[in-house]
């Protein structure tokens, strides 16, 4: 049985359907990421799982127990979940230790046991030395950890995380990503993590749920979603992809700007997209030998040196983003050919 | 500018201190203070003032804090109407409320008691009345009715500022709503509760009208009525000054305590954006909640306004309404009473000039201080808000002493009252201007200057239009504050410089309730017109 | 010889009563130019306004500014203003005759005898011609006829100490009211401070001006008035309020209330014109009929329904005797009854 299940979950605000018939089954111990742009409904979904919002349609089940349905919602305090808020929501009038111990206190854990478990959580998040401080005396990153420790101390079965890293600077973010994943592995709770940052999703999730305009676009492992996006939206959102408009001719052949291109995988439709990764596009400078298959002509528009590789924008009638080896150094205006490896082209019907 | 401010604020205080240390022959003496602390005629009022002010503070907390919580956190119905009524309570001059409560709560003729007797078939004088408003507790009750809005506003604003996530976090970790309220919400609004208590305490401490109307007839004196009595001829300025100082000291002490408490523990909330409030469902608790609001607002606004309107149109206010209807009081006040014209003229001249001068001062100081344009700009800001620490009657004593001696003999003119009003209302005006200016980012002005405008030009073209609404609101606020002022005016006025509030107070001396009611209704009507104007001008937010 | 004749004339003129100053047309014209008279008075505000109205009907070009306060406040205001060199008041009326002694001593009062005042009995006239009894009233007891049956009404001050009157009494304050001050002085002589001490324990509603207790009585807020203006009682009775005066067996204080013109009056002619009007038979009759006052003008008739003065045991007022005791009376009273 899935640990957490969303069935046709729907939430409306006036005329706007914020969450549109979402269905999802989460296994125990999984780390699920709800990924999407702002307004896609991911936070609303999370808040329904937490019990702060009542669904208009559909159900939420934990194990075999229905916790949310229209007209009947188990209040948050009785769901035995943990949550980390975007603003950390660390209580400024309590010490770090009191913050961390709060969940245990509310569940009636005895004082000695409470202290033990709180200390364990503090140790796990490397906050033991700061236990007696007040939040105002801590840095952003440290407060983030307090929120983490607090959420983990009561050993919740389900942990909800609402964009917890968006307020941290880039370095800290990298560190905390690893930290959160590590703690998840250590405690083995079921985690639902909301973010708009695909890098976070890619590095942390067991499965990613890509959402757009209230609907689920695709569910899959990071590799699934990255290598085999099912729609233009997912391809673009997940990053590192070009999506070129094409028309299906027959079989695996499509027409891109009058050229015949072979697409090795994916779905086909009359008007479709072709997804090809930036590093799967080869640039051949003018004058060099190139085959005739899957080749388009273009002009270099701009270039950026990134140390490990060079980014090019090549105009083939539309802009193509190419990640090329650093050694290849072409100036803007140079005429080039680009080759799309057929097995690396993916058809997108949506 | 700083010198001007200093003169305005500090000069009266200096003379106050000086006079308190001198006897009638101007020789240095501590006799005044000696009498202050040993003469029961002084000690008793001091004690009374302290305990009644504390009682008011507590009463306000007990009523207003739950009210604020209900409005900010629950699905209480009729919220908008309640907020409007609280505002009405806020702008009602407390002495007006006292007048109304005499008509409502006089133990034998008060309307409420009459109903009570009628309902239970009791006879006045033989039975215990439902309420006897002529008592120290009656005074406490009425003072609380018109100071609770301060506490309400503080607490409601503070609740609004707590991000919902702090309470949601508590819920998610297992706390039922009432535990969240105790563990999280309450500690976070504690500073606001404390601030509210202190403000309520200070407000009641400096009121004159309510004690004079309700406590004096029962033989209970407070410091303000005592100081006033010291001004009966021949005035004893030394004693009056000495009696004023405890009030001043208490005020300064409490304000400092409040600042100290607010400063610790960094109660500014940390972290990012919040996602909107979760309202608590009241269910069956709606009834008692509505009851609380109903009771408080009925006592503060509905009943008093009702009884004043009623009295204004009845020949004999204590008799039943049948056959009693009359507009004779209106005729008297507006056609026959020779004081009316003068009182209205004085009041409006004073209100308008104080508002204009106060606004100009506030804007100038505000601009200089917030944009840090002059050396000592911090002192400017301090001086502009300092008068809040000086009770109105103390200010009046100081002004009286300062300006009834050469070179500036202003006593008997409107100027001395004007000075009192400007000094007293400046802090409020300054706060309003400061918040308007703060909303104008300095970069907006810097942009103007980059494009070639001088500082003055920038002020005129860019800043002024952006703070226009705030400035108008300031003017109106000072105007309202001035027209209802009593505790300072009562010491500084003479026959030619009477105001409406003083006139009403005088009419009370001869129990002329009909004309009092007429003037009350008129004053309230004017005040509400002004408030509507303020709302109009501050509803459209700029930038 | 001529000098002796002159001296004779001077001696004769000194023995004659001070000549009255009539309202000559010249005075009227000058008064109209001044345009206004400022009158500080402790008479009930509505009565005062009616007198003012009558004056204005006769002299439409002259405004009357009626500044009403309790007598003690009138004294304070005038003294405070004069101390600050503010000369605002033209004519003053107060129910505390001792005030006039004080003002006369300061040299602030003008010598002006209204023609009608010449007819008054000597005890109602200042020998130096600066002030005259303008109105008189009794600082009497009274009761509310709805709350107290006629037979049960107290007949003496002593009866008020009976526990059945506890919490039902209302009274004025000598620190604010000249009438009450005069009354208190007179009653202390007859009843002693002992009586007042006992009275202070009966839960009296303590008001300030003597114009107030009659209204409290009329509203039914209290049942019996210990002291208050008889004239206000008459006014209430005329308005059909359920009140009636009581003339105590120990005696009822008589309070004469003089009026005077100030030497430093800003509108000297209007002041004198007004003063003359105040003492005219017309104004006096108005005072009596509408204002419930008692008048010492020989031509004025007492309306029906009022007990004539000769039938009441009166405690006459004594300004000179009272003057040195004023501070003491106020202090003792305040100590017993509060402010």
Domain boundary among B311, B326, B341: B326
* Strongest mean pLDDT among A115-119, A252-256, C1-5: A115-119
CA angle centred on B33, ends B28 and B38, rounded to 5°: 140
Which domain range does residue B529 map to?
327-543
- With a cut of 70, say whether residue A67 has pLDDT above it: yes
- With a cut of 80, say whether residue C327 has pLDDT above it: yes
Of A80-89, B35-44, C328-337, the one with minimum mean pLDDT is B35-44
| CB spacing of B337 vs C219 below 8 angstroms | no
Residues of chain B short of pLDDT 70, as ranges, are 1-2, 24-26, 124-126, 233-234, 261-278, 538-543
Of B297, B423, B407, nearest in space to B354 by CA = B423
- Do B532 and B386 belong to one domain? yes
- With a cut of 70, say whether residue C189 has pLDDT above it: yes
B-chain CB neighbours of C40 within 8 Å are 495
- The contacts of residue C69 (CB under 8 Å, 6+ apart) are B506, B509, C40, C42, C77
Is C154 within the bounds of a domain? yes
Query: How far is residue A128's CA from residue A287's CA, in Å, rounded to a whole number?
Result: 65
pLDDT score, position C5:
53
Query: How far is residue B527's CA from residue B92's CA, in Å, rounded to a whole number?
Result: 8
Is C148 within the bounds of a domain? yes
- Do C228 and C281 belong to one domain? no
| CB spacing of B317 vs C219 below 8 angstroms | yes
- Do C37 and C87 belong to one domain? yes
Of B444, B480, B475, nearest in space to B462 by CA = B444
| CB spacing of C175 vs B409 below 8 angstroms | no
Name the token pair of B196.
């509210």
- Do B316 and B436 belong to one domain? no
Residue C229 pairs in a beta bridge with C139
Which domain range does residue C330 map to?
138-254+323-337
**What's the mean pLDDT in C319-336?**
87
Give counts: helices (H), strands (E), chain A.
8, 22
Domain boundary among B271, B301, B326: B326
List the subunits that have 3+ CB pairs under 8 angstroms with B. Answer: A, C
Residue with tokens 């309570």: B89
- Closest CB from B108, B229, B315 relative to C222: B108
Count interface pairs A-B at CB distance under 8 A. Answer: 102
pLDDT score, position C4:
54
Identify the contact set of chain A against chain B, taking CB-CB distances under 8 A.
Answer: 43, 47, 50-52, 75-83, 85-93, 102-103, 106-107, 134-137, 143, 150, 154, 160, 166-167
A-chain CB neighbours of B173 within 8 Å are 77, 82, 102-103, 106, 150, 154
- Do C60 and C181 belong to one domain? no
Residue with tokens 């106060």: B358
Residue A311 pairs in a beta bridge with A304, A323
pLDDT score, position B326:
85
CA distance B365 to chain A (A): 33
- Dihedrals φ, ψ of A33, to 5°? -110, 130
Q: How far is CA C175 from CA B275, B454, C329, in A?
A: 65, 64, 9
A-chain CB neighbours of B174 within 8 Å are 77-78, 80, 103, 106-107, 154
What is the four-CA torsion angle of A235, A239, A242, A243, rounded to 10 degrees?
A: 30
How many other CB atoms are found less than 10 A from the CB of residue A70?
12
Is B3 within the bounds of a domain? no
Query: How far is residue A297's CA from residue A319's CA, in Å, rounded to a whole number?
Result: 12
- Closest CB from A85, A107, A136 relative to B169: A85
- pTM, whole model, 2 decimals? 0.77
Q: pLDDT grade, residue C12 (50/70/90)?
A: very low
- Do C110 and C144 belong to one domain? no
- Mark whether A and C touch (3+ CB pairs within 8 Å): no
| CB spacing of A89 vs B188 below 8 angstroms | no
- Closest CB from B232, B409, B412 relative to C76: B232
> What CATH number corresponds to the domain at position B131?
1.10.3720.10
- Closest CB from B165, B170, B172 relative to A87: B165
- Do B353 and B306 belong to one domain? no
Residue ranges of E strands in A116-268: 158-162, 190-195, 207-212, 215-220, 241-250, 253-256, 259-262, 265-266
- Do C151 and C219 belong to one domain? yes
| CB spacing of B270 vs A86 below 8 angstroms | no
Give the strand pairing for C36-41 and C63-68: parallel
Query: How far is residue B324's CA from residue A130's CA, in Å, rounded to a whole number?
Result: 76
Give the total number of structural domains in chain C: 2
Is-contact B513 B311, C-beta < 8 A? yes
- Closest CB from A81, A106, A143 relative to B270: A143
Q: pLDDT grade, residue C13 (50/70/90)?
A: very low
Q: pLDDT grade, residue C339 (50/70/90)?
A: low
Please give the mean pLDDT across all residues of chain A.
90
Give the total number of structural domains in chain B: 2
B-chain CB neighbours of C81 within 8 Å are 412, 494-495
- Do C132 and C263 belong to one domain? yes
- A252-282 per-position pLDDT tens digit: 888 888 888 888 898 888 889 999 999 999 8
- With a cut of 50, say whether residue C11 has pLDDT above it: no
Is B19 within the bounds of a domain? no
Of A219, A285, A217, A259, nearest in space to A345 by CA = A259
User: Residue B10 CA to chain centroid, in angstroms?
Assistant: 22
B-chain CB neighbours of C89 within 8 Å are 495
Chain B from 316 to 375: CB within 8 A of any C CB: 316-318, 332, 336-339, 342
| CB spacing of A103 vs B173 below 8 angstroms | yes
Using only C-alpha atoms, chain A has a radius of gyration, in whole angstroms, of 24
Residue with tokens 């549109």: A20
CA distance B483 to chain C (A): 21
- Do B194 and B240 belong to one domain? yes
- Do B382 and B275 belong to one domain? no
| CB spacing of C220 vs B109 below 8 angstroms | yes
User: Residue C192 CA to chain centroid, in angstroms?
Assistant: 24
| CB spacing of A106 vs B173 below 8 angstroms | yes
Of B349, B387, B347, nearest in space to B365 by CA = B387
Give the strand pairing for A207-212 and A31-35: parallel
- Do C204 and C266 belong to one domain? no
B194 reaches A (C-beta below 8 A): no
- Do C32 and C47 belong to one domain? yes
- With a cut of 90, say whether residue A350 has pLDDT above it: no
- Closest CB from C80, C86, C211 relative to B233: C80
- Do B56 and B201 belong to one domain? yes
Is B28 within the bounds of a domain? no
Domain boundary among B278, B297, B326: B326
| CB spacing of B216 vs C46 below 8 angstroms | no
**What's the mean pLDDT in C146-169?**
90
- Closest CB from B219, B231, B316 relative to C337: B219
- Do C130 and C264 belong to one domain? yes
C-chain CB neighbours of B412 within 8 Å are 81, 84, 86, 88
| CB spacing of B273 vs A86 below 8 angstroms | yes
| CB spacing of B168 vs A91 below 8 angstroms | no
- Dihedrals φ, ψ of B42, to 5°? -110, -40
Prediction ipTM score: 0.74
- Do B384 and B512 belong to one domain? yes
- Closest CB from A52, A85, A106 relative to B174: A106
A-chain CB neighbours of B275 within 8 Å are 43, 47, 86
| CB spacing of C86 vs B337 below 8 angstroms | no
Is B20 within the bounds of a domain? no
Q: How far is CA A48 from CA A68, A70, B118, B163, in A?
A: 8, 11, 57, 19
- Do B128 and B190 belong to one domain? yes
Is C47 within the bounds of a domain? yes
pLDDT score, position C45:
84
CA distance B47 to chain C (A): 15
Is-contact A93 B187, C-beta < 8 A? yes
Is B511 within the bounds of a domain? yes
- The contacts of residue C71 (CB under 8 Å, 6+ apart) are C42, C94, C95, C96, C99, C176, C177, C178, C179, C181
- Do C204 and C303 belong to one domain? no
- With a cut of 90, say whether residue A220 has pLDDT above it: yes
Residue with tokens 């000369």: C87
- With a cut of 60, say whether residue C14 has pLDDT above it: no
Q: pLDDT grade, residue C335 (50/70/90)?
A: confident
pLDDT score, position B261:
67
| CB spacing of B174 vs A107 below 8 angstroms | yes
Chain B from 129 to 148: CB within 8 A of any C CB: 134
- B383-414 per-position pLDDT tens digit: 787 787 788 888 888 888 888 777 777 777 89
Is-contact B130 B113, C-beta < 8 A? yes
C-chain CB neighbours of B41 within 8 Å are 334-335
Is C16 within the bounds of a domain? no
- Do B196 and B221 belong to one domain? yes
> What CATH number corresponds to the domain at position C198?
3.40.190.10
What is the four-CA torsion angle of B381, B387, B390, B392, rounded to 10 degrees?
A: -170
Query: How far is residue A216's CA from residue A200's CA, in Å, rounded to a whole number?
Result: 18
Query: How far is residue C25's CA from residue C28's CA, in Å, rounded to a whole number?
Result: 5
- Do B165 and B97 belong to one domain? yes
Is B147 within the bounds of a domain? yes
Is B506 within the bounds of a domain? yes
List the subunits that have 3+ CB pairs under 8 angstroms with C. Answer: B
Query: Coil, strand, or helix at residue B209?
Result: helix
- Do C248 and C266 belong to one domain? no
| CB spacing of B109 vs C221 below 8 angstroms | yes
Q: pLDDT grade, residue A57 (50/70/90)?
A: very high
| CB spacing of C211 vs B106 below 8 angstroms | no
B306 reaches C (C-beta below 8 A): no
Q: Which residue of A has its CA nearest to B186?
A: A93
- Dihedrals φ, ψ of B118, to 5°? -60, -45
Sign of CA dihedral C133, C139, C144, C149: negative
Is B12 within the bounds of a domain? no
Name the token pair of B232.
């009966």
Which comes out higher in pLDDT, residue B466 or C265?
Answer: C265
pLDDT score, position A286:
83
CA distance B314 to chain A (A): 53
CA distance C197 to chain B (A): 14
B283 reaches A (C-beta below 8 A): no
| CB spacing of B172 vs A90 below 8 angstroms | no
pLDDT score, position B403:
81
Count interface pairs B-C at CB distance under 8 A. Answer: 129
- The contacts of residue B124 (CB under 8 Å, 6+ apart) are B107, B108, B109, B113, B114, B117, C147, C220
- The contacts of residue A151 (CB under 8 Å, 6+ apart) are A82, A83, A84, A103, A159
- A313-345 per-position pLDDT tens digit: 999 888 999 999 988 888 899 899 999 888 889
Using only C-alpha atoms, chain B has a radius of gyration, in whole angstroms, of 25
- With a cut of 60, say whether residue C135 has pLDDT above it: yes
Using only C-alpha atoms, chain C has a radius of gyration, in whole angstroms, of 21
- Do C69 and C205 belong to one domain? no
| CB spacing of B509 vs C208 below 8 angstroms | yes
- Do B200 and B222 belong to one domain? yes
CA distance B293 to chain A (A): 28
- With a cut of 90, say whether residue A213 has pLDDT above it: yes
């Amino acid at each position: 049985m899935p640990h957490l299940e969303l069935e046709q979950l729907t939430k409306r605000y006036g005329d706007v359907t914020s969450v549109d018939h979402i269905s999802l089954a989460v296994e125990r111990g999984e780390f699920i990421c709800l990924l999407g742009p702002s307004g896609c409904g991911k936070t609303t979904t999370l808040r329904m799982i937490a019990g702060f919002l009542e669904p208009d349609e559909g159900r939420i089940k934990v194990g075999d127990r229905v916790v949310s349905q229209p007209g009947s919602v188990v209040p948050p305090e009785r769901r035995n979940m943990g949550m980390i808020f975007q603003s950390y929501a660390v209580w400024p009038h309590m010490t770090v230790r009191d913050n961390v111990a709060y969940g245990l206190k509310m569940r009636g854990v005895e004082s000695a046991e409470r202290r033990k478990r709180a200390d364990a959580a503090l140790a796990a998040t490397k906050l033991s030395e700061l236990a007696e401080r007040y939040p105002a005396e801590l840095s952003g990153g440290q407060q983030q950890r307090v929120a983490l420790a607090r959420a983990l101390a009561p050993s919740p079965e389900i942990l909800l995380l609402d964009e917890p890293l968006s307020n941290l600077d880039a370095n800290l973010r990298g560190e905390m990503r690893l930290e959160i994943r590590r703690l998840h592995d250590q405690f083995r709770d079921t985690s639902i993590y909301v973010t708009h940052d695909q890098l976070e999703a890619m590095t942390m999730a067991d499965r990613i749920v890509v959402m757009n305009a209230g609907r689920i676009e695709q569910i899959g492992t990071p590799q699934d979603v990255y290598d085999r996006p099912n729609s233009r939206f997912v391809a673009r959102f997940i990053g590192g992809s070009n999506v070129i408009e094409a028309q299906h001719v027959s079989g695996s052949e499509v027409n891109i700007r009058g050229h015949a291109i072979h697409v090795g995988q994916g779905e086909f439709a009359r008007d479709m997209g072709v997804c090809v990764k930036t590093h799967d596009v080869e640039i051949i400078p003018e004058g060099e030998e190139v085959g005739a298959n899957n080749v388009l002509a273009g002009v270099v528009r701009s270039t950026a040196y990134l140390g490990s590789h060079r980014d090019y924008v090549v105009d083939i009638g539309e802009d193509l983003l190419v990640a090329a080896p650093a050694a290849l150094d072409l100036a803007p205006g140079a005429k080039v050919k680009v080759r799309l490896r057929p097995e690396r082209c993916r058809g997108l019907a949506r | 500018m700083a010198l001007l401010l200093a003169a305005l604020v500090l000069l009266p205080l200096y003379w106050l201190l000086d006079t308190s240390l001198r006897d009638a022959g101007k020789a240095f003496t501590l006799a005044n203070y000696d009498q202050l602390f040993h003469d029961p005629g002084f000690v008793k009022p001091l004690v009374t003032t302290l305990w009644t002010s504390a009682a008011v503070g507590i009463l306000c907390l007990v009523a207003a804090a739950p009210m604020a919580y209900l409005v900010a956190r629950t699905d209480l119905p009729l919220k908008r109407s309640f907020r409007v009524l609280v505002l009405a309570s806020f702008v009602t001059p407390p002495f007006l409320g006292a007048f109304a409560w005499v008509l409502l709560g006089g133990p034998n003729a008060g309307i409420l008691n009459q109903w009570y007797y009628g309902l239970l078939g009791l006879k006045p004088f033989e039975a215990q009345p439902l309420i006897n408003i002529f008592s120290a507790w009656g005074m406490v009750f009425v003072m609380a009715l018109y100071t609770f809005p301060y506490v309400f506003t503080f607490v409601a604003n503070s609740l609004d500022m707590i991000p919902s996530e702090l309470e949601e976090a508590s819920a998610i970790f297992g706390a039922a709503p009432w535990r969240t309220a105790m563990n999280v919400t309450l500690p976070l609004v504690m500073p606001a509760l404390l601030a509210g208590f202190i403000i309520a305490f200070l407000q009641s401490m400096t009121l004159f009208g309510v004690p004079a109307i309700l406590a004096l007839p029962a033989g209970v004196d407070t410091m303000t009525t005592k100081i006033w009595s010291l001004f009966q001829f021949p005035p004893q300025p030394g004693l009056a000054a000495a009696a004023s100082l405890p009030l001043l000291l208490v005020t300064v002490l409490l304000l400092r305590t409040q600042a100290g408490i607010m400063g610790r523990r960094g109660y500014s909330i940390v972290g990012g954006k919040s996602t909107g409030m979760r309202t608590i469902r009241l269910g069956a608790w709606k009834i008692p909640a509505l009851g609380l609001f109903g009771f408080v607002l009925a006592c503060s606004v509905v009943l008093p306004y009702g009884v004043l309107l009623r009295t204004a149109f009845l020949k004999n206010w204590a008799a039943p309404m049948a056959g009693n209807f009359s507009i004779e009081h209106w005729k008297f006040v507006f056609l026959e009473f020779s004081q009316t014209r003068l009182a209205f003229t004085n009041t409006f001249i004073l209100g308008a000039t104080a508002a204009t001068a106060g606004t100009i001062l506030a804007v100038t100081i505000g601009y200089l201080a917030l944009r840090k344009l002059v050396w000592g700009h911090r002192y400017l800001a301090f001086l502009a808000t300092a008068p809040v620490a000086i009770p109105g009657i103390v200010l009046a004593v100081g002004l009286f002493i300062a300006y009834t001696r050469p070179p500036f003999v202003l006593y008997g003119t409107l100027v001395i009252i004007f000075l009192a009003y400007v000094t007293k209302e400046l802090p409020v005006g300054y706060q309003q201007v400061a918040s308007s200016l703060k909303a104008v980012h300095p970069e907006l002005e810097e942009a103007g200057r980059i494009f070639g405008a001088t500082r003055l030009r920038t002020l005129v073209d860019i800043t002024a239009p952006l703070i226009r609404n705030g400035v108008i609101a300031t003017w109106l606020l000072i105007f309202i504050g001035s027209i209802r002022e009593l505790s300072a005016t009562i010491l500084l006025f003479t026959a030619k410089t009477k105001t409406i509030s003083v006139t009403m107070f005088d009419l009370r001396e001869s129990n002329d309730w009909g004309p009092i009611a007429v003037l009350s209704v008129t004053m309230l009507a004017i005040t509400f017109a002004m408030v509507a104007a303020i709302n109009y001008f501050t509803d459209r937010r700029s930038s | 010889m001529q000098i002796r004749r002159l001296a004779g004339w001077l001696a004769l003129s000194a023995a004659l009563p001070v000549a009255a100053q009539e309202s000559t047309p010249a005075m009227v014209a000058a008064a109209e130019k001044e345009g206004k008279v400022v009158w500080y008075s402790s008479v009930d505000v509505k009565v005062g306004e009616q007198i003012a109205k009558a004056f204005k009907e006769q002299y439409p070009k002259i405004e009357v500014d009626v500044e009403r306060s309790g007598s003690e406040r009138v004294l304070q205001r005038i003294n405070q203003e004069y101390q600050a060199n503010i000369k605002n008041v033209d004519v003053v009326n107060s129910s505390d005759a001792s005030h006039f002694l004080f003002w006369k001593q300061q040299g602030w009062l003008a010598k002006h005898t209204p023609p009608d005042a010449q007819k008054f009995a000597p005890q109602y006239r200042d020998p130096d011609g600066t002030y005259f009894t303008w109105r008189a009233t009794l600082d009497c007891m009274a009761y509310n006829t709805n709350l107290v049956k006629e037979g049960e009404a107290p007949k003496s001050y002593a009866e008020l100490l009976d526990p059945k009157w506890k919490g039902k009494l209302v009274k004025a304050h000598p620190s604010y009211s000249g009438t009450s001050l005069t009354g208190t002085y007179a009653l202390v002589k007859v009843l002693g401070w002992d009586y007042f001490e006992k009275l202070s324990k009966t839960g009296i509603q303590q008001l300030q001006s003597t114009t107030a207790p009659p209204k409290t009585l009329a509203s039914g807020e209290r049942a019996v008035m210990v002291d208050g203006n008889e004239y206000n009682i008459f006014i209430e009775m005329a308005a059909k309020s359920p009140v009636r005066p009581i003339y105590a067996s120990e005696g009822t204080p008589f309070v004469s209330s003089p009026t005077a013109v100030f030497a430093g009056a800003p509108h000297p002619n209007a002041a004198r014109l007004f003063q003359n009007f105040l003492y005219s038979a017309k104004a006096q009759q108005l005072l009596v009929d509408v204002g419930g006052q008692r008048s010492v003008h020989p031509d004025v008739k007492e309306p029906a329904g009022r007990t004539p003065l000769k039938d009441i045991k009166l405690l006459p007022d004594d300004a000179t005797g009272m003057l040195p005791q004023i501070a003491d009376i106020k202090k003792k009273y305040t100590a017993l009854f509060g402010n």
